[in-house]
Structure 1
Amino acid sequence: MTSPTTTGAVWTFDAIGTAWSIDTEEPLSPAARIAVSAVVEDFDREWSRFRDDSLVMALAEGRVSSVPSPEDTDAMLALYDELDVATGGAVNPLVGDALARLGYDARLTLAPWGAPEPAPHWRDVVTWGSGILSLSRPATLDVGALGKGRLVDRVLREVQRHVGGDVVVDGSGDLAVRGTPVRVGLEHPYDHARAIGVIEVRDAALCASAVTRRAWGDGLHHVLDARTGAPVRAYAATWAIADTAMRADALATALFFDGGPELAAAWGAPWVRMRTEGRVEWSPGFDGEIF
């Protein structure tokens, strides 16, 4: 997704393995930046499968079978329930081990060590409630289908505690806009210097996903079908607009599969997706421009 057209004070930084920018009318104070950094650090320490000290890795390695539920647990896992049902099991938060088999592991070796295998049926393994998140056996949670969107929402909320007026939080393809609308280019997945269209985002979130991002090797990328453990092949990129970045991020993942458009329609969320051969599809409610 190409950068939105914005004005004001921009703070750029790296977090959770990608570039971020926060655009506000006035510069964020040092205290505000510290507060935002703390939100990001807390989320990463809880949900990252790329750091040894995270709660996710403690569960994955069997060091513990349960942990105190992070504050995002119910919101994210309840939404995974909806994604699971809508896509017939294609979206599943236990794809972490399947990703690792293909080389997208905690050490980022990018060297496959096994053939694709289906992810476990996650509701047989994962339980949460009464302040506890538990796994019945060691397994690797990966909340990549909606986690970055959730973090964008939390960062936006923290920024708005410190400043008023227009705000744009952009987490490299997942962005939330409050105030003045911004025009955003839909980046061509095979040519990052081009856009396939443009959309104006107003008091909403726009999230994108593409198989050419976080890709390695021949046909290997981060969007897996949990039912097979193999990378998806039909679609190259997706974009979705929703009231929150978490929901837009979730839809951007679901749109790689059958059932994604129906879920978006139920939520009243516009979307665009591009097939790997180049054909572009979009929802009836999409009011942007496709080139």
Structure 2
Amino acid sequence: MRSTRSRPKRRPDTSVSATVRPLAHAWCFDALGTRWEISTPVPLADVVARRVTDELDRIDRAWSRFRDDSTVAEIGRRAGRYPIAPADQPLVDWYRRLYDLTGGAVSPMVGQVLVDAGYDAGYSLAPKPEVAPAPWWEGVLAGHSGSLDVRHPVLLDVGAAGKGFAVDRVAGIVGEAVDSYVVDGSGDMRIRSSDGPLRVALEHPLDAEKAIGVVELDDGAICASAANRRAWADWHHIIDPRSASPAREVLASWVIAPDTMTADGLATALFFTPASILRSAFDFHAAGFHHVTIRRNGTVEHTDIPGLELFL
């Protein structure tokens, strides 16, 4: 099994820790600048592993702002029309929905803001004296169905939902080969367990060696977002593109949803937008989506998550 081409490694992403009862076989590798682990009852065939790494390579070539030969890098250099692969259209559509739901707080236009703040390809952590807000969607994109019609060069960043999207793509491949699996893209997890729920530990946002609780999940996704992992100076990676400043009120969030792309995007959106507003747009189940949110003032908000135990 071969690993994907990777850009310079960054610090580990925020994690939901690990399944308490993992499956028998684990395949670990690096891709998209982070650590992946795919757990299955039996080892994956080489042909399945190649499909996984090929798909992650394809996603990286299209959407990475950390490599000069990606489509995103080309969009940052010149305006024009850039075809969207049919498989990637849901990611672009979800970003537009997140942009609308959060009033522009979750935006793919945030790439240059992150670079200017120090979260660049070399991970310099050296913020510029002044960091400008991101452009608004319509000012940059004339259209996003079938192609990105770029009015002006812009550095895109799809980190708020892109890894979740990649996890879903990998899970689709793995799920054709085995009945049970855990696809863990450094904390963004898609789980399907035919033997009953797996227990998932929620990593403490201030101490990676501890858990603040556990949840149970047999079919669905869980994602976390927190300000503690990719943090430097007065900055962290969850930045409001409208003000070019880090989100301050929320410390960490976890979201459970049917797919990882949705959970990943909502975990970021909760840093800017109340769950009640986000929930009004979803009908996954009675609660809309499940979540745990920890605020910096110590308060905890959560839905009635099956198997939830909090240790706070």
Q: TM-score, normalised by structure 2?
A: 0.88
Alignment equivalent of 1:69, drawn from 69, 73, 84: 84
Distance in 2 (CA, whole Å) between partners of 1:187 and 1:105 is 26
1:167 aligns with 2:181: yes
Q: 1:176 is matched with which residue?
A: 190
Distance in 1 (CA, whole Å) between partners of 2:124 and 2:276 is 34
SS in 1 for 2:108: coil
Provide the alpha-carbon RMSD of the alignment.
Answer: 1.6
Kindly indicate whether the alpha-carbon contact (under 8 Å) linking 1:95 and 1:142 is maintained by their aligned counterparts in 2: yes
1:273 aligns with 2:287: no
Q: Which 5+ residue runs of structure 2 have no aligned equivalent?
A: 1-15, 283-287
SS in 2 for 1:95: helix
Kindly indicate whether the alpha-carbon contact (under 8 Å) linking 2:89 and 2:146 is maintained by their aligned counterparts in 1: no
Alignment equivalent of 1:107, drawn from 116, 122, 132: 122
1:283 aligns with 2:298: no
Moved more, 238-247 or 127-136: 127-136
Percent identity between the aligned chains? 43
Distance in 2 (CA, whole Å) between partners of 1:286 and 1:167 is 20
Q: 2:267 is matched with which residue?
A: 252
Matches within 5 A, 1:41-190: 41-62=57-78, 65-128=80-143, 131-161=146-176, 163-179=177-193, 180=195, 181-190=197-206
Q: 2:208 is matched with which residue?
A: 192
Kindly indicate whether the alpha-carbon contact (under 8 Å) linking 2:92 and 2:144 is maintained by their aligned counterparts in 1: no
Alignment equivalent of 2:246, drawn from 227, 231, 240: 231
Q: Could you tell me how far 1:242 is from its partner in structure 2?
A: 0.4
Moved more, 125-134 or 146-155: 125-134
CA change 1:177–1:260 in 2 (3 A) is same
SS in 2 for 1:205: strand
SS in 2 for 1:138: coil
Q: Could you tell me how far 1:197 is from its partner in structure 2?
A: 1.0
Aligned residues: 288
Q: 2:8 is matched with which residue?
A: none
Kindly indicate whether the alpha-carbon contact (under 8 Å) linking 1:66 and 1:132 is maintained by their aligned counterparts in 2: yes
Kindly indicate whether the alpha-carbon contact (under 8 Å) linking 1:87 and 1:260 is maintained by their aligned counterparts in 2: no
Distance in 2 (CA, whole Å) between partners of 1:266 and 1:202 is 24
Kindly indicate whether the alpha-carbon contact (under 8 Å) linking 1:69 and 1:128 is maintained by their aligned counterparts in 2: no
Moved >6 Å (runs of 4+): none
Q: TM-score, normalised by structure 1?
A: 0.94
Kindly indicate whether the alpha-carbon contact (under 8 Å) linking 2:24 and 2:41 is maintained by their aligned counterparts in 1: yes
Alignment equivalent of 1:33, drawn from 38, 49, 62: 49
Q: Could you tell me how far 1:135 is from its partner in structure 2?
A: 1.1
Amino acid at match of 2:178: G
SS in 2 for 1:240: strand
Q: 2:3 is matched with which residue?
A: none
Kindly indicate whether the alpha-carbon contact (under 8 Å) linking 1:251 and 1:264 is maintained by their aligned counterparts in 2: no
Q: Could you tell me how far 1:229 is from its partner in structure 2?
A: 1.2
SS in 2 for 1:10: strand
Kindly indicate whether the alpha-carbon contact (under 8 Å) linking 2:250 and 2:295 is maintained by their aligned counterparts in 1: yes
Matches within 5 A, 1:202-213: 202-213=218-229
Distance in 1 (CA, whole Å) between partners of 2:95 and 2:145 is 19
Distance in 2 (CA, whole Å) between partners of 1:231 and 1:51 is 24
Moved more, 190-199 or 179-188: 179-188
